[in-house]
Amino acid sequence: MVFAETSGKHAFSPLEGYDIHTSDFSCRWSGVLTLWACALDEEILDGYEAWAFWRCAFGAGRYFFLERLVSHGGCGVSVRRLGGDRAGEMRIGRFLHNSRVRAQEMLETARARTLKAVRGRHVLAIQDTTSVRVDGSGVGLSCHPVLAVDASEGTALGLVDAIFLSREGGRKGTHQQRDFAAKDSRRWLDGARSAAALAAGGAACVTVVEDREGDIYDCFAHKPTGVEKLVRAGQDRRLCGGGSLFQEAGRLAEAGDMEVDLPALAGRKARRARLVVSFGEVALARPRNRTAASGLPEAVRVTVVVARETNAPDGAEPAHWLLLTSHAVTDLADARRMIGFYRRRWTIEQLFRTMKTRGFCMEALRQKEGGPLEKLVTAILIAAVTVMQLVAERDGTAGTPLETALDPADGPALKRVCKSLEGKTEKQKNPHPTNSLAYAAWVFARLGGWTGYYGKPGPIVMLRGLTQFNAIKHGWTLQNV
């Protein structure tokens, strides 16, 4: 298997607050940020300066490409459709095949902007894998992004990294014999290492959040300094001193309860669930097929947090989450916070939904692997995160400025469009400052079909509105032609 351009090689209503008990070093560490900066003539550039450097390096082609990508987001993506005409198609094709345009540099630019948004926050680095072009046997290209999310507010702060995996097949029988560094599961540790840059960027605390597939002993044993880990247990592990993880979790005393809203899923209606919560500390034993020569410690101590639903409707499967974390959990409030942090993992599922069928239709791409396809997927990922940021700012609670995700030059067009959408009542008027991202989010949501009265606009509505706005803006630029 091939790991393409991974930076890992280098060094919904949780309770208020996130003052959990944990190691001072991981939540208070500080240092000079140089790892992800772009260097030019010995001058260190980060954030918008790095963005400007990338713009200068690749010229107007990059802006033409991203603008066309966003403007066609709700209609699926193809180079022919994005180009608009033969000249535009050739222009985007040259951009994707240009050896000077690297997916890694696109990711570094996005990461530099994210680092500006994380300072002083407790950040959840949520990571997961989604298929790009994979056959029924699992062979093909997948993408493993790491998304920064505010732990308290649940807002998407930006992209941290994206690791591409090209699975070739025919190696399943050698899984036990291969070193961890040669396995595709290495991506979970690489993603955690990328998240460590958030701590270097000034985040108050960084917690890597993963689903069952990230439950890997090596990832706990080699957890990077400056981050904590929170994962849903995926296997019944041996414990030091005898017994198993699931047995011990079942014996933990109840510490209290909490209520959460479970969203609707395929085959499940949305409902209000009462969860009984328990927690305790265990020592996971090193897997039997690994020895001291592997460099793994004999045991790793983690905290177990269990949440069981007690009021599931007849015929419905009760919610049951068994979480493992490197955070210290000393009381019910800490345990509740861990559950709340894990529930934020849904944010990355929304990101995948935006990238795929209901949004950019990423799975229909036909570009060649090994360069053009990875670049196009990276651009889609960055654009989809922008949509997520718009969703996060729909209420304007964070006061995020417009230029965080959009071009400030869009301001005049936004105001004109907003005026045409506003009604006579206060409910039908845009309540946000004109220079805020929330102002733009309100406009895009209304263009996407949101009435302003019922519910809140999600990523698909926001993407639809963003598509409409770019079509209007295109007409705006042609008004004097």
Residue 20: per-residue pLDDT: 36
Beta strands in 248-327 (DSSP E): 254-262, 271-285, 299-309, 320-325
If you compute the radius of gyration of the chain from its CA atoms, what whole number of angstroms results? 23
For the segment 51-108, what is each residue's pLDDT rounded down to a tens digit? Answer: 333 343 344 444 455 555 554 554 445 545 554 556 655 555 665 566 666 788 889 9
Length of the chain, in residues: 481
β-bridge mates for residue 232, sequence order: 323
Do both 410 and 337 map to the same domain?
no
Assigned domain for 463 exists: yes
What residues make up the domain containing 146? Answer: 2-44+101-235+327-355
pLDDT over 70 at 134, yes or no: yes
Residue 36: per-residue pLDDT: 26
Tokens representing 329 are: 């959990």
Do both 206 and 154 map to the same domain?
yes
Do both 218 and 133 map to the same domain?
yes
Phi/psi at 243 (5° precision): 85, 180
Q: Read off the pLDDT of each residue in 157-186 and give the average, rounded to a whole number.
A: 79
Cα–Cα distance, 421 to 112 (Å, whole number)? 35
CB distance 278 to 252 below 8 Å: yes
Assigned domain for 40 exists: yes
Do both 409 and 342 map to the same domain?
no
Do both 338 and 402 map to the same domain?
no
For the segment 182-234, what is each residue's pLDDT rounded down to a tens digit? Answer: 788 999 999 999 999 999 999 999 999 999 999 999 999 999 999 999 999 99
Assigned domain for 70 exists: no
Tokens representing 311 are: 């009021």
Do both 343 and 411 map to the same domain?
no
Using CB atoms within 10 Å of the CB of residue 75, give its burial: 0 to 12 exposed, 13 to 18 middle, 19+ buried.
middle
Do both 215 and 338 map to the same domain?
yes
For the segment 278-332, what is each residue's pLDDT rounded down to a tens digit? Answer: 999 999 999 988 776 678 999 999 999 999 999 999 989 999 999 999 999 999 9
CB distance 117 to 125 below 8 Å: no
**Which of 6-10, 30-34, 249-253, 301-305 comes out lowest in average pLDDT?**
30-34
**CA 71, 76, 77, 80: dihedral to nearest 10 degrees?**
-90
Assigned domain for 31 exists: yes
Residue 98: per-residue pLDDT: 63
For the segment 422-471, what is each residue's pLDDT rounded down to a tens digit? Answer: 988 888 899 999 999 999 999 999 998 998 888 889 888 888 888 788 77
Assigned domain for 71 exists: no
Cα–Cα distance, 426 to 104 (Å, whole number)? 46
Assigned domain for 96 exists: no
Residue 181: per-residue pLDDT: 77
pTM of this prediction? 0.76
Residue 81: per-residue pLDDT: 54
Do both 331 and 470 map to the same domain?
no
Q: Residue for token digits 């916070």?
A: 337
Do both 26 and 105 map to the same domain?
yes
Residue 468: per-residue pLDDT: 82
Phi/psi at 8 (5° precision): -65, -15
**Which of 122-136, 162-176, 316-330, 432-446 comes out lowest in average pLDDT?**
162-176
Do both 450 and 348 map to the same domain?
no
Residue 59: per-residue pLDDT: 43
Question: Mean pLDDT of all residues in the chain?
Answer: 79
Cα–Cα distance, 89 to 438 (Å, whole number)? 33
Assigned domain for 248 exists: no
Q: Sorting pLDDT into bands at 50, 70 and 90, what band is 409? A: confident
Share of the chain above pLDDT 70, in %: 74
Assigned domain for 146 exists: yes
Do both 340 and 446 map to the same domain?
no
Cα–Cα distance, 320 to 308 (Å, whole number)? 5
Question: How many structural domains does the chain have?
Answer: 2
Residue 252: per-residue pLDDT: 97
Do both 15 and 141 map to the same domain?
yes
pLDDT over 70 at 161, yes or no: yes
